[in-house]
Structure 1
C-alpha cells in the first residue's frame, strides 16, 4: 500500500511539473503574440558613398634571409656588423677553407686525367666506358668545388641590412644562422580585411600608409597579392602590401595604418541607433517589419558616415521597413503598431 502511495505521489508530481512547464511555455508564447509594441520605421534605401577600409598592420622587411652555410667548421672571418648595409654579391663570411682547398687539388688532378683520356678517346685508344667514367668524376668534383666555394666564401643573396649577428670570428659554426639579412629599401605588410569586401579588393590597387612617427607623411604602397581564402574564425582575408622605402624612414616592426579606397558604391545605410548588439558577443542585428511583426536580422557593419552606418545582410532588401524607434523593446515575432 505504501509503495503504491509513493508511486502515485511521484508520478502525480511529475505530471504536475510537466503540465506547469507546458502551460508556462504556452503562456510566454501567447504573451509575445499578444504584445503590441509601438515603433517608428523607415524604408531601407541605398546611398552613394566613397567606400574606404581603414586597417592597421605591422611593417616587415620585404625579404629576410638567414645566412647559414651548408658546411660546418670554424668561422674564419665575418666581414660585417649589425646595421651594415650590403648589396647582393657582397662578401659576408669566410669559413674554414681546408675542405675547399683539398677538393680543388682533387679537381686539378682529375682535370689532367680527363684531358688525357679525352685525347686518347679521340684516337680510339681507350674505351667509351673509360672516357665516360673520367668525365663523370671530373664533373662531379667540379660541382663540389662550386658548392664549397659558395659555402666557404658566403655572399649576400639580396640587398639589405644586417639585422642579427650570432657568432664572432674563430667560433665553431653549429647550424644557427651566422647572420640575418633583412631587406629594408622596400617593405611588406599583411592586412586583414572583412570578408564583405572580397569583391572590391584587387592586386595592383594603390594606397597610402601612415605612421604615428611621421604624422604628416603618407607613404605610397601597392596591393601586391590578395590571398584566396577566408579565415573562418575571423571572417577576414589577407592582402599583402608592397611599400617602397628608399629613404629608409620606415623600419620593420613599425606599427602603421592604411586606408584602402574601393570607389563609389551604392550601399544600404541605416541610422546607427537602429543597430543593436547581442550581449556578450560582437553580433549586430536590426529589426524589420514582417507581416506586422518584428523580424530580427543579423547584419555586418561597413563604413560609418556621420550618424549612418553601412550594413550587409542577405536577408535585407531595398524597401524593407526598418524599425528606427522602439527597437530596444522588441523580440522576434512581437506584433508592431507603426506610429508616425
Structure 2
C-alpha cells in the first residue's frame, strides 16, 4: 500500500536538509579553525649553535696521514775510550753549543801512555844522532882506507833503522795523544741534550752510550698514508697537521720524500715530512695527525653537518622567510680536517643553514626563528 506524501513528509525532508546544511557548515568552521591553528603554529626556536652562515673560505682535501715527530738531526755520543767518568757538565734538556764539553773520562792511564811515548821519541832521537855520527865516521874511514866499504854500508843501514825508529816513536806518541784527547766528550753540533746516560763516577767501556743530542730547529714527521692515496704523495706537497698537547693548533710542513715500497702488513706508505721548528715548541716523539693537502680551492662553505649526504643529490635545510626550505646542493670539496664542505651550487653567500640533529628534526616548510642571527654575529 503506497505511503502518504503529504505536507508533513515534505517538512520532515526539509528539516533533515537544514540539519545537514548546519552540520556541514559546522564542519567547515572546524576545519577552518584547524587550518588557522596550523598557520598560527609558533616557530621553532633555533639556537646559534644550530645554524651556520655560508661564507667563502679556502678549503683543502687529501689523504689523512698519522705518525710521530722525530728529530731530523740526532747524535748518540759514545765513549771512545774506557774508564771512569771524571765529570759530567751538562744534563738532559740543556741547550749546548757546537764543540761544548759535555763530560770527561778519567785520562790518568792515557796520560801515562803519552809520557811513555814522549820518552820513546826522545830515546829514538838520541839513537838517531848516534847513528848519524857513526855513519859519518865510517864513511871518513872508508875513504882513507882505514875501514872496509862493507862496514860503511852497515853504518848507513843502522842510520836508516834509527830514522825509522824515530818515525815509529812519533806515530806512537800521536796515537797516545789522540787517545788521551778522546776522554773529552763534546757536542757535535748546536742543539739540546735529549738524554744523559751516565753520572760522575760511572765506569764505562769503549762504545758505551753517554749522551744523545738533537737539533730541535727542524723536525721530521714520519707518517703513514693508505696505499690507495699514493697518487697524492709527491715531494713538495703541503701537509697540515695537529700535534698531541697543542689543542686545535695547526702546523705546516712539506713532503720531503716517499718510501718506494708499501708495507705489506698494513697496506700503508711511509712519508717523511720536513717540519720547521724555529721556536722549538714542537717536541720529538709527539704523535701527529693531519692531511696531505693535495687539492685546495676557494669556495662557499659551511660545516659538514649542514649537509644531508644520505639523500641523492645531497640537501641542506636553508632558513628563508621564517621557514626552513630543503634545497639540493652540489658538493665541490670536502675538508675533513676543518669539518667543512665547499659548495659548487645550491647556496649563496650569507645563506643560513640548519646543522646536525636540528636539521634532521625539521620538516620542509616548518616555521623557525633564529634566536640570534648568525649573520649579525658575523658582522659584529
Which category describes the TM-score, using the shorter chain as reference length? Answer: 0.5 to 0.7
- Residue 284 of structure 2 aligns to a residue whose secondary structure is coil
For residues 65 and 110 of structure 2, what CA distance do their matches in structure 1 show? 52
Alpha carbons 1:53, 1:303 under 8 Å: kept: no
For residues 198 and 137 of structure 1, what CA distance do their matches in structure 2 show? 62
Listed as ranges, the matches of 1:123-162 within 5 Å are 126-150=158-182, 152-162=183-193
2:227 to 168, 174, 195: 195
Task: Report deviation, 1:136.
Answer: 3.4
Task: Report deviation, 1:102.
Answer: 1.5
- Residue 154 of structure 1 aligns to a residue whose secondary structure is strand
Over alpha carbons, which structure has the higher Rg? 2
- Residue 178 of structure 2 aligns to a residue whose secondary structure is helix
Corresponding position: 1:93 with 2:94: no
Q: What are the Cα deviations for residues 78-106 of structure 1, in whole angstroms up to 9, with x where unaligned?
A: 00122211122110011111122113213
Task: Report deviation, 1:201.
Answer: 2.2
Q: Which residue of 2 aligns with 1:30?
A: none
Q: Name the TM-score, length of structure 2 as normaliser.
A: 0.50
Alpha carbons 2:254, 2:275 under 8 Å: kept: yes
Q: Which residue of 2 aligns with 1:165?
A: 196
Corresponding position: 1:103 with 2:113: yes
1:186 to 205, 218, 234: 218
For residues 219 and 114 of structure 1, what CA distance do their matches in structure 2 show? 66
Alpha carbons 1:91, 1:155 under 8 Å: kept: yes
Q: What are the Cα deviations for residues 273-326 of structure 1, in whole angstroms up to 9, with x where unaligned?
A: 79xxxxxxxxxxxxxxxxxxxxxxxxxxx998969xxxxxxxxxxxxxxxxxxx
Q: Which residue of 2 aligns with 1:78?
A: 88
Q: Name the TM-score, length of structure 1 as normaliser.
A: 0.55
Single out whichever of 241-250 and 140-149 deviates more from structure 2: 140-149
Task: Report deviation, 1:50.
Answer: 6.5
RMSD: 3.7
1:61 to 71, 81, 85: 71
Q: What are the Cα deviations for residues 206-233 of structure 1, in whole angstroms up to 9, with x where unaligned?
A: 4333325334643332323322221112
Single out whichever of 106-115 and 62-71 deviates more from structure 2: 106-115
Alpha carbons 1:227, 1:237 under 8 Å: kept: yes
- Residue 260 of structure 2 aligns to a residue whose secondary structure is coil
Task: Report deviation, 1:135.
Answer: 1.7
Query: Any stretches of 5+ residues in structure 2 without a counterpart?
Result: 1-58, 137-155, 297-308, 312-333, 343-380
For residues 231 and 121 of structure 2, what CA distance do their matches in structure 1 show? 62
Alpha carbons 2:78, 2:211 under 8 Å: kept: yes
2:258 to 226, 234, 239: 226
Q: Which residue of 2 aligns with 1:317?
A: none
The number of equivalent residue pairs is 226
Alpha carbons 2:62, 2:232 under 8 Å: kept: no
- Residue 185 of structure 1 aligns to a residue whose secondary structure is strand
For residues 130 and 161 of structure 1, what CA distance do their matches in structure 2 show? 51
Q: Which residue of 2 aligns with 1:253?
A: 285
More strand by share: 1
